[in-house]
Structure 1
Amino acid sequence: MTTLEEQPSTDRSPGFARSLRYEWAAFRSLRSNWALMGSAVVVHLLLTIVAHDSHDTGDITFNKVMSVAWLFTVLVGALGVNAFGTEYRYRTIVTTMLTARSRTHVLLAKAVVVTAAAIVAECAALASSWLVLAGMFGAAPTVSTSLVQGAGAVVYAVLVTLIGLGLAVLLHGSITPIALLVVWPQIEMFLINRLDLPEWLLFVLHPFYSARQLISDSPAWPGTLPMLGLAAVLLGASAVVLNRRDV
């Protein structure tokens, strides 16, 4: 019988560390993830080129881009959906769940990987916009404005990604979760425009809208709370479902 001391170090490593290495390998081997990240950068570049006017300063153009760029955050959020959605699609979820020491570790590992990927993708997209304005148009936005708005955009993208991850588990796939990430913010805007609701009720009932208040020159950080709460609830429910459901 092989003793613990005789086993390879990879077999003795903590469950979460093993899950993290596995999920990172799975993430980088999936071409659609790189396509999504590249698309996010391309979209920001195109928005910047189209939005810039020769009479505008860099800050004005950057504000224009940020005011509509949130519409395309679903490209980054789809990274979270992909983490489980592709496993359900190709039935690799069976192997993943049956061989995992802890299904909760799998969920946490996927959350860590897609969060890191979302941060990198959004930072790359924002940097591309800044560099185009500075290099191509000679209208570099001020660093302070860029950092303030960029930080809000990164947080928003991360929350969308985590919500996508939770939806993929609860809805057992990828098509419906991605559709929800696209439609949900639009429904919120429709309700806001149609219903005369108190500000506090809008804050609670429209998490995506509330969190988008971050993407401005003077971000309202408490606006992240409803969306953060939504992400936490979805991920908590996902942990329960994964541990109770047969794959």
Structure 2
Amino acid sequence: MTTLAARPQTDSTSAGLRAVQYEWAAFRTVRSNWVLMGAALLIQLLLTVFAHDSRDHGDVTFDKVISVAWIFGALVGALGVNAFGNEYRYRTITTTVLTARSRLRVLGAKAAVVAVAAIATETVVLSASWLVLAVFMGAAPTASVSLMMGTGAVIYTTLMTLVGLALAVLLHGSVVPIAFLVVWPEVEMLLINRLDLPEWLLVVLQPFYSARQLISETPEWPHALPMLGLAAILLGAAGVVLTRRDV
């Protein structure tokens, strides 16, 4: 016999799963999402081909490519922006959010879908780059080194995607949030690096730059914390905004 206490929990879990299924259906029907993922893959492959020198070991090429590819991380990050940006653009936000029993559940479902999409996209992109080097260039990167660096790249792009999702809610659209994802990392390096501050404070004030330090053969995992904290703060703010204002 199902208890009264267990029933609401079961209903909540079912509602959460339905929300994720709905958001996944919405995600895969947006053409621009597939364009972004395809562009990320194409750029990675082009970088791989042009960066390879026949005199280099595959590790050298993979390192060169992945150390530059972060610049195009906004292509994956834009998947998060699209999750809400397209809703505002096509004015479907009212149907999606106002008719939902829990706006936070909508936000959580979108975050889950875009995070998984970012992880899958970056994994496919990096795997394709590795295979091109191994099969067509005859210079297979060391699997352990590639896995370590690839993990850092996946974490970085996933966090960027969640930041993009939150910015789309806070800025009520898609154009400005995408501009933020492109410009923000550059501003960090141009401005903050010029300041004479303690190293720990620079790490905190440069969340994007700090997280990119994970893309290394010897990643410093705590450097992901500032960007993780930024994503959490922005998502929390997005949740507050969604629950307290008309969309």
Does TM, normalized by the shorter one, top 0.5?
yes
Matched residues, percent identical? 69
Runs of 4+ that moved beyond 3 A: none
Partner of residue 14, structure 1: 14
* 1:170-196 Cα shifts (integer Å, max 9, x gaps): 000000000000000000110244333
Counterparts of 1:239 and 1:223 in 2: how far apart (Å)?
25
Counterparts of 1:178 and 1:12 in 2: how far apart (Å)?
33
Partner of residue 7, structure 1: none
Counterparts of 1:13 and 1:108 in 2: how far apart (Å)?
12
Counterparts of 2:192 and 2:131 in 1: how far apart (Å)?
35
For the pair 1:122 / 2:130, whether they are aligned, the reply is: no
Partner of residue 30, structure 2: 30
Comparing 94-103 with 78-87, which one deviates more in the overlay? Answer: 94-103
Other structure's SS at 1:54 match: coil
Comparing 21-30 with 186-195, which one deviates more in the overlay? Answer: 186-195
After superposition, where does 1:103-142 map in structure 2 within 5 Å? 103-142=103-142
Q: Give the TM-score taking structure 2 as reference length.
A: 0.93
Counterparts of 1:214 and 1:193 in 2: how far apart (Å)?
18
* Number of equivalenced pairs: 237
Unaligned runs of 5+ in 1: 1-10
Partner of residue 172, structure 1: 172
* 1:133-190 Cα shifts (integer Å, max 9, x gaps): 0111100001001100000000001000000000000000000000000000000110
Unaligned runs of 5+ in 2: 1-10
Please say if residues 148 and 216 of structure 2, whose CA atoms lie closer than 8 Å, have aligned partners that are also in contact.
Answer: yes
Partner of residue 3, structure 1: none
Please say if residues 15 and 102 of structure 1, whose CA atoms lie closer than 8 Å, have aligned partners that are also in contact.
Answer: no
Please say if residues 213 and 219 of structure 1, whose CA atoms lie closer than 8 Å, have aligned partners that are also in contact.
Answer: yes
For the pair 1:40 / 2:78, whether they are aligned, the reply is: no
Counterparts of 2:194 and 2:12 in 1: how far apart (Å)?
58
* 1:4-35 Cα shifts (integer Å, max 9, x gaps): xxxxxxx9983212211110100000010011
Partner of residue 63, structure 1: 63
Give the counterpart letter for 1:181 in structure 2. L
Give the counterpart letter for 2:47 in structure 1. L
Please say if residues 193 and 202 of structure 2, whose CA atoms lie closer than 8 Å, have aligned partners that are also in contact.
Answer: no
Counterparts of 1:58 and 1:193 in 2: how far apart (Å)?
32
After superposition, where does 1:72-91 map in structure 2 within 5 Å? 72-91=72-91
Give the counterpart letter for 2:231 in structure 1. A
Partner of residue 191, structure 2: 191
Give the counterpart letter for 1:203 in structure 2. V
Counterparts of 2:188 and 2:46 in 1: how far apart (Å)?
26
Partner of residue 8, structure 1: none
Give the counterpart letter for 1:208 in structure 2. F
Comparing 186-195 with 222-231, which one deviates more in the overlay? Answer: 186-195
Counterparts of 1:199 and 1:63 in 2: how far apart (Å)?
25
After superposition, where does 1:207-226 map in structure 2 within 5 Å? 207-226=207-226
Q: Give the TM-score taking structure 1 as reference length.
A: 0.93
Please say if residues 192 and 205 of structure 2, whose CA atoms lie closer than 8 Å, have aligned partners that are also in contact.
Answer: no
For the pair 1:92 / 2:92, whether they are aligned, the reply is: yes
* 1:27-53 Cα shifts (integer Å, max 9, x gaps): 000010011111111111011011100
Please say if residues 74 and 181 of structure 2, whose CA atoms lie closer than 8 Å, have aligned partners that are also in contact.
Answer: yes
Counterparts of 2:13 and 2:72 in 1: how far apart (Å)?
39
Counterparts of 2:97 and 2:134 in 1: how far apart (Å)?
48
Partner of residue 53, structure 1: 53
Counterparts of 2:192 and 2:239 in 1: how far apart (Å)?
32
